[in-house]
């Protein structure tokens, strides 16, 4: 979070009425808001202002909201909350896999939006205050694999780079921080900062399947990412931390 006491929120939505409503409500609750209606305005404001969180509408006219979310995540590590339509489940899942932190479904209540924004900001604040040793980690090494935390890439035992989505990277990082421990879906959602709503509980299962395709010799009979029936999943490997 920036040095200003009040969090600075960047709202991108093409509907002036929504911009006015959200801006007024968040500012009434001790937040500073900058607003725009396009991807161009979003990046212009990011260049000019220190931003603590972005609220991004996925359905901007003549623009691909998912592509904007991808570009934003590649450019910055700041929190992203998506604004989506009620029937846009596929877009919500894709947005979360691209690295968004949460979503709010339209029509939404300003009170719910405020609660979501505060929750995401708290998670990032906790993340930024991790012990110095923890934040200094360069990579995890397990079973010949190396997960580079700075480049966000996975390197195979043969030295090949394996590209990971943001969701896959976050999930594998969580496993590496707790090797050989059984982690429930709730724990994995929290540790990886994937979306925590019950409806996306199975997002974990999807990410696990994709990770197995990338790191298991036989994904149908996994030896690394083990399912503990009724309990969760476990990384069945010792993990070395590189600094």
Are both 64 and 139 inside the same structural domain? Answer: no
CATH number at residue 14: 3.40.50.2300
Domain harbouring 181, CATH code = 1.10.10.10
Query: Do 119 and 176 lie in a common domain?
Result: no
What percentage of the chain exceeds 70 in pLDDT?
88
Residue 184 forms part of a structural domain: yes
Residue 2 lies in a domain: no
**147 lies in the same domain as 79:** no
| Contact predicate 12/37, CB 8 Å | yes
The answer to whether position 204 is within a domain reads: yes
What does the pLDDT look like over 55-69, one tens digit per residue? 999 989 888 888 898
Instruction: Print the domain residue range for 235.
Output: 134-242
Residue 176 resides in a domain: yes
Q: Are residues 147 and 215 in the same domain?
A: yes
Residue 109 phi, psi (nearest 5)? -90, 140
Mean pLDDT computed over every residue of the chain = 84
When divided into structural domains, the chain yields a total of 2
Same structural domain for residues 202 and 116? no
* Residue 1 within any structural domain of the chain: no
**Residue 169 CB contacts under 8 Å (≥ 6 apart), including other chains:** 147, 152, 154
Q: Is residue 111 part of a domain?
A: yes
Same domain, 235 and 205: yes
pLDDT at 126: 53
Residue 152: per-residue pLDDT: 82
Q: Is 24 helix (H, G, I), strand (E, B) or coil?
A: helix
Rounded mean pLDDT, 27-40: 94
Dist CA 230 CA 223 (whole Å): 18
Together in a domain, 24 and 70: yes
Q: Domain boundary residue among 70, 101, 128?
A: 128
Percent of the chain with pLDDT over 90: 42
Place of tokens 């405020």: 114
Answer yes or no: is pLDDT of 127 > 60. no
- Please give the average per-residue pLDDT across 163-171, as a whole number: 83
Q: Are 76 and 49 in contact (CB under 8 A)?
A: no
Same domain? 139 vs 105: no
* Arithmetic mean of pLDDT, 139-157: 91
For residue 16, what are the contacts with CB-CB under 8 A and spacing of at least 6?
A: 37
- Verify that 161 and 118 share a domain, yes or no: no
Q: Are residues 141 and 238 in the same domain?
A: yes
The mean per-residue pLDDT over the stretch 179-185 comes to: 86
User: Which of the four pLDDT bands, split at 50, 70 and 90, describes residue 225?
Assistant: very high
3-state secondary structure 173-192: HHHHHCCCCEECHHHHHHHH
């Amino acid at each position: 979070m920036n040095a200003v006491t009040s969090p600075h929120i960047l709202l991108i939505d093409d509907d002036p009425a929504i911009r006015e409503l959200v801006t007024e409500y968040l500012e009434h609750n001790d937040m500073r808001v900058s607003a725009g209606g396009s991807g161009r305005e979003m990046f212009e404001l990011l260049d000019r202002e220190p931003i603590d969180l972005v609220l991004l509408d996925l359905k901007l006219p003549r623009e691909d909201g998912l592509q904007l979310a991808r570009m934003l995540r590649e450019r910055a590590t700041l929190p992203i909350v998506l604004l989506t339509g009620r029937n846009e489940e596929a877009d919500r899942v894709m947005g979360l896999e691209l690295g968004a932190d949460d979503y709010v479904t339209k029509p939404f209540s300003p009170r719910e939006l405020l609660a979501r924004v505060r929750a995401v900001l708290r998670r990032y604040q906790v993340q930024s205050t991790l012990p110095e040793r923890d934040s200094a980690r360069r990579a995890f090494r397990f079973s010949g694999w190396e997960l580079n935390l700075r480049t966000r890439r996975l390197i195979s035992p043969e030295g090949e780079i394996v590209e990971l989505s943001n969701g896959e990277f976050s999930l594998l990082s969580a496993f590496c921080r707790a090797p050989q421990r059984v982690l429930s879906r709730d724990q994995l959602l929290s540790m990886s900062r994937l979306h925590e709503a019950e409806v996306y509980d199975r997002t974990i299962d999807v990410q696990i399947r994709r990770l197995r395709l990338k790191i298991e010799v036989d994904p149908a009979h996994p030896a690394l990412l083990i399912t503990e029936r009724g309990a969760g999943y476990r990384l069945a490997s010792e993990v070395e931390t590189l600094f």
